[in-house]
Amino acid sequence: MGTPAEDQAVRQYRFLLRTAPLDALQAAHHEALDRLDEAQRARVLDAVRDGLVAGQRLTAGNTAAIARLVSIGERRDPRAFLDACDPIVLRALADAVNSADAAFGLFAGYAAWDGSDPAGRDPGVDHGGKPGRSLDDDPAAEVKAFANSHALSAGPWAGGSGF
């Protein structure tokens, strides 16, 4: 969730990141990145590399690829890019995306938005239970997880004898 003193342009940008169709979001980012100068694009790319751990082979001139990484990366791991981005460059990117032709008409519902970000992805492990169930709900999940991990380590492809 944004802070009470959050910049209005950045808040609107976060709204687009959370609600806009992915193709429109990518197009708006592509258009916005083309408007930024080379140094700003390089700093956006640095944030992509730091926050999303992607784009290692890209240059600041690859605006279409950077736009795709930002759009998809923020959907997969909310705030990863935003938190890695320099606030001044983030404001410039937010202004450019918000005013992009591709973003026209995408602010419906903004007035009612509470500013919350979706929960980030769970970096934990799969405990072998049914989706949506925790270890508390599925007492056999830990046993299943142990059995699955043991079976993988005992297989012939993992250096075991397989017998």
Segment 72-121, tens digit of pLDDT: 999 999 999 999 999 999 999 999 999 999 999 888 888 787 888 766 55
| Residue among 105, 94, 106 at smallest CA distance from 2 | 94
Task: With 0.85 as the threshold, say if the pTM is over it.
Answer: no
Check pLDDT > 50 for residue 149. Answer: yes
Segment 48-74, tens digit of pLDDT: 999 999 999 999 999 999 999 999 999
Check pLDDT > 80 for residue 126. Answer: no
How far apart, in whole angstroms, are the C-alpha atoms of residue 60 and residue 46?
9
